[in-house]
Structure 1
C-alpha cells in the first residue's frame, strides 16, 4: 500500500515527513498518488511545494514515464515534465519537445521548451535555435543566440553579425541591447576566421558597452585572438583601433603579441603619442625580459606619460643590465634625466629605486625627488623599500620623509584601468592640492559612491573593462547627492559622436590624451574654485 494513502487526512508534520520520505526514496509506485496531489493541491503552500519536489524526484528516475506524461499532459503537468526532461537531460524527450515547439507559438511555452533543450544539449535542436534568433521575444532570442554559440554554429555567423551592425547604426548606437551583447559572445564562441575578424573590426564600435564586451571576449580568447589583433597593429590603421588592440594584447599577455607590439615600436607604425603610450604599457603588462629593449627605447620619448608607462613596466623587470642603462642615461644629466627621475617617483618604481639607490649622486637625486613629492602614498612606498634596504644611510633617508598625516582639503576621484595613468593622476592631483582616490574601473569607483564618499571632482577614462566610464557616470548621475559633482572624461576618442554620447550620460567636459599636468589642472580649475 502506498504511504500516500489517506494523505489529505494526515497532520501537517506527518504530510511533510511523508513527502520527504517519498522524495528521498524516489519510488515509482508513488507516482499516481503524487500526480493526483499535484493536479489537485491540498491548499497549503509548504505541502504543495513538497509535492512538486517529491514528484520531481520520482520522475527523475523514470525517463520513459516522464516522456509519456510530457506527450499526454497539459497545463502545469506538461510544464513540469518539460523542466524535468531538461534538468535530468532526458535525450528521448528531444523529438517530443521539438514537435511541441513547432505546434505552439506561445512565447512563455516556447521559452520553457528552449530552456529544456538547451540543458539537454546536442545538435538536434540546432534548426529550432536558428529559427528563433529573430523571435519577437528578447528572452527567446537571447536563449537561441547562447545555444548557437555553445553549438558553434558557423551558419549563424552572418545573422549574428547583423545584430552588431544594426546596433552601430545612427539612432541605435546609444544603447547596447542584450541581443547585441550575446551576439558578440556567440561569435567569439564560434571562433571562425570570419567571426573573429568581425569582432576585432568592432573594437571601436560606437557603443562603449559593446566595445567593452568585445575587449572582454578577445581577452578571454587569449592567444587565439593575437593573429586577428595583429592585423590592427599595423601601419595606416585607425588610431583608436590600434590603441584598443594594444590594450587587449596587454591584457592577453601572450608572447606572440609581444613580438607584434615590439615591431610596432621598432618600425614606427604610428607617431601618435597615445598609440605609443598604449603599446609601451601593453609591453610592460606582458612583462617578459624580451620586452626590456623596447621599454628602454621608450625612455627617449619626450612624453612624460610614456616615461611613467615605461617605468611601470621596467619595475617588474629590473636586472643589472637595466640598472646599468638607467645609470648611464641619468648620469648624462639634462632634461631626460629629470624626466626619468620623476617617472620613477610617480610610478612608485621601488625595484628600480633599489637598483639605483647605491649609485652615489643618482641615489641622492632620487631621494630628493621622493622627498619633494606631495603624495603620501609615494612616501610610504619608498619608506617601506628603504626599511628593506636597511643600513645607516637608509635610516637617515627615512627620517627625511614626511610622516603620514590625515588627509584634509579637496578630494578627487580618478578612474582608469591603466596603473601608469593612475600614478600620473595621483602626482598631478597631489601637486594641485587634492587628496586623490583612485580606482581601476567604473565598478570599483562606484563602490566609493556607495560608501557615500564625497569628492570635489571626478576624472574618468572612457574605455575600461568591467564597467566603462559612461556606464559609471550614468550610475553616478542617478545616485542621490551626486548629480552635480564635476566629471571630466579623459579620452583618446577622435569621433565626435562619442563625446556627445558621454555628455548625455552626464559628463561635464573632456580632456584628450596626451595632455600635460598644467592642462589637466586648468581643466579642473574651470569647475572647482
Structure 2
C-alpha cells in the first residue's frame, strides 16, 4: 500500500512525517500520488513545500521518468523536472532540453533550460550557448558567456571581444556592464593567444572597473599570463600599459617576469617616475635574491617614493650582503644617505634596520630617525624589533620611543594597493598633523565607512584590485554622512581623460604622480583648514 493513501485526511503532523519518509525512501511507486499532490496543492505552505521536496527526491532516482515528464504540458511540473535534470546531471535529458530551448521564445523558460544544461555540462549544448550570446535578456547572455568559458570555446572569442570593445566606446565607457565583466573573465578562462593578447591590450580600458577585472583575471592566470604581459614591458609601450603590466607581474610573482622587469631597468625603457616606481615595486614584490642588484640601482633615483618602494623590497631580502652595501651607501653621507635613512623608517624596514643597528654611527643615525617619526605605528614596529634584538642598548632605545604621539586632532584615510605608497602617505600625513588610517583597496577602505569612522579628508588611488577608486568613491557618496568629505584622487598624468568620470562619482580634486610631500600637504590644505 502506498504511504500516501488517504494523505489529505491525515493530521498536519502525520502529513509531515509521511512526506519525510517518502523523501528519505525515494520509492518510485509514490511518484504518481506525489504528482497529484503537486498539481493540486493542499494550500498549507509547509505541507506543499514538503511535497516538492519529496517529489524531487523520488525523481532524483528515476532519470528516465524525469526525462519523460519533460514533455508534459503542465508548466509547473515541467519546470520542476528541468531543474531536477540539471541538479542531478541527467545526461539523457540533454537532447530533449535542446529541443525545448530551440522552440522557445520565453526568456524565463529559456533561462531555466540553459541553467539545467549548464549544470549537466558537456559540449552538446555548445551551439545553443553560442546562439544566445547576444540574446536580449542579459541573464541569458551571462549564462551563455559563462558556459562558453567553461567549455573553452575559441570560436566565441570574436563575440566576447565585441562586448569589451563596445564598453570602450564614447557612449558606453562610463559603466561596466555585467556582460563585459563576464566577457573578460571568459577570454581569460579560454586562455588562447588571441584572447590573452586582447585582454592585455585592454589593460588601460577607459572604464576603471573593466581595468580592474582585466588586472584580476590576468593575475589569477599566474604564470600563463606572463609571456603576454612581458610584451608590454618595452620602450615602445604606452606608459599606462607599462605601469599596469608591471603591477600584474609583481602580483603574479613569477621569476620569468622578474627577468623582464630587471631588463627594463637596466636598459632604461622609461625615464618616467611613475613607470620606474611600478617596476621597482614589482621587482620587490617578486622578492628573489636576483632582484637585489636592480633594487640597489633604484636607490640612485632622486624620487623619494621610488626609494621607499625599493626599501620595502629590500626589507624582504635583508642579508649580510644587503647590510654591507647599505653601510657603504649611508657611510658616503650626503643627501642620498639621509634619503635612505628616511626610507628605512617610512617603509618600516625592520629587517634592514636590524642589520644596520650595530653599525656604530649609522645605527645611531637610524635610531634617531626612528625617534623623530611622528607615526606611532612606526614606533611600534621598531619597538618590537628592538625587543627582539635585545641587550642594554636596545632597551635604552626602546625607552626613547614615545608611547603615543600627539596629532592635530584631524583624521585622514589613504587608499592604495601599494604598501610603499601607503607607507609614504602615513609619513606625510603624520608630519602634517593627521592621524592616518590606510587601506589596500576600496573594499577594505569602505569597511571603515561602515563602522561610521569620521575622516577630514580621503586620498585614494584610481586603479586598485578588488574595488577600484571610482567604485569606492561612488559607494562613499551614496552613504549617509559622507556626502561632503573631501576626496582627492591620485592619478598619473595620462589619466586626465578619466578625471571627468571621476568627478561624476564624487571626487573633489586630483593630484598627479609623482608628487612631493609638500604638494600633497598643499592640496589637502585647500580642502581642510
- How far apart, in 2, do the equivalents of 1:47 and 1:158 lie? 51
**Comparing 398-407 and 424-433, the one that deviates more:** 398-407
- How far apart, in 2, do the equivalents of 1:473 and 1:448 lie? 13
Q: How does 1:111-510 map to 2 (within 5 A)?
A: 111-404=111-404, 409-492=409-492, 494-510=494-510
Could you tell me whether the CA contact under 8 Å between 2:407 and 2:430 is conserved in 1? no
Q: How far off its partner does 1:337 sit?
A: 0.4
Could you tell me whether the CA contact under 8 Å between 1:41 and 1:48 is conserved in 2? yes
Could you tell me whether the CA contact under 8 Å between 2:375 and 2:405 is conserved in 1? no
Q: How far off its partner does 1:408 sit?
A: 5.9
Partner SS, residue 377 of structure 1: helix
Q: Per-residue CA shift, 1:310-343, capped at 9, x if unaligned?
A: 0000001001110000000000000110000000
Partner SS, residue 494 of structure 2: coil
Q: Which residue of 1 aligns with 2:72?
A: 72
Partner SS, residue 176 of structure 2: coil
Q: Which residue of 2 aligns with 1:18?
A: 18
- How far apart, in 1, do the equivalents of 2:326 and 2:476 lie? 43
Q: How far off its partner does 1:492 sit?
A: 1.6
Q: How far off its partner does 1:91 sit?
A: 0.4
Could you tell me whether the CA contact under 8 Å between 1:240 and 1:493 is conserved in 2? no
Q: How does 1:8-87 map to 2 (within 5 A)?
A: 8-87=8-87
> In angstroms, what is the RMSD of aligned CA positions?
0.8
Could you tell me whether the CA contact under 8 Å between 2:408 and 2:433 is conserved in 1? no
Q: How far off its partner does 1:382 sit?
A: 0.6
- How far apart, in 2, do the equivalents of 1:351 and 1:104 lie? 67
Q: Per-residue CA shift, 1:60-115, capped at 9, x if unaligned?
A: 00000000011234210000000000000000100100000011110000000000
With over 3 angstroms needed to count, the CA separation of the structure-2 counterparts of 1:459 and 1:347, relative to structure 1, is same
- How far apart, in 2, do the equivalents of 1:488 and 1:213 lie? 23
- How far apart, in 2, do the equivalents of 1:496 and 1:311 lie? 30
Q: How far off its partner does 1:137 sit?
A: 0.3
Q: Per-residue CA shift, 1:190-247, capped at 9, x if unaligned?
A: 1100000000000000000000000000000000000000110011210000000000
Q: How far off its partner does 1:260 sit?
A: 0.8
- How far apart, in 2, do the equivalents of 1:147 and 1:407 lie? 55
Partner SS, residue 424 of structure 2: helix
Could you tell me whether the CA contact under 8 Å between 2:232 and 2:245 is conserved in 1? yes
- How far apart, in 2, do the equivalents of 1:296 and 1:408 lie? 37
- Output the TM-score relative to the length of structure 1: 0.99
Q: How far off its partner does 1:403 sit?
A: 1.4
Q: How does 1:93-108 map to 2 (within 5 A)?
A: 93-108=93-108
- How far apart, in 2, do the equivalents of 1:406 and 1:175 lie? 44
- How far apart, in 1, do the equivalents of 2:501 and 2:88 lie? 47
- How far apart, in 2, do the equivalents of 1:72 and 1:188 lie? 41
* Structure 2: 5+ residue stretches without partners: none
Could you tell me whether the CA contact under 8 Å between 2:280 and 2:309 is conserved in 1? yes
With over 3 angstroms needed to count, the CA separation of the structure-2 counterparts of 1:29 and 1:407, relative to structure 1, is farther
- How far apart, in 1, do the equivalents of 2:496 and 2:343 lie? 32
Q: How far off its partner does 1:407 sit?
A: 6.1
Q: Which runs of 4+ in 1 moved over 6 A?
A: none
Q: Per-residue CA shift, 1:275-324, capped at 9, x if unaligned?
A: 00000000111111111111011101111000000000000100111000
- How far apart, in 1, do the equivalents of 2:74 and 2:143 lie? 24
With over 3 angstroms needed to count, the CA separation of the structure-2 counterparts of 1:335 and 1:407, relative to structure 1, is closer
Could you tell me whether the CA contact under 8 Å between 2:209 and 2:468 is conserved in 1? yes
Could you tell me whether the CA contact under 8 Å between 1:39 and 1:77 is conserved in 2? yes
Could you tell me whether the CA contact under 8 Å between 2:101 and 2:113 is conserved in 1? yes
Q: How far off its partner does 1:406 sit?
A: 7.5
Partner SS, residue 5 of structure 2: coil
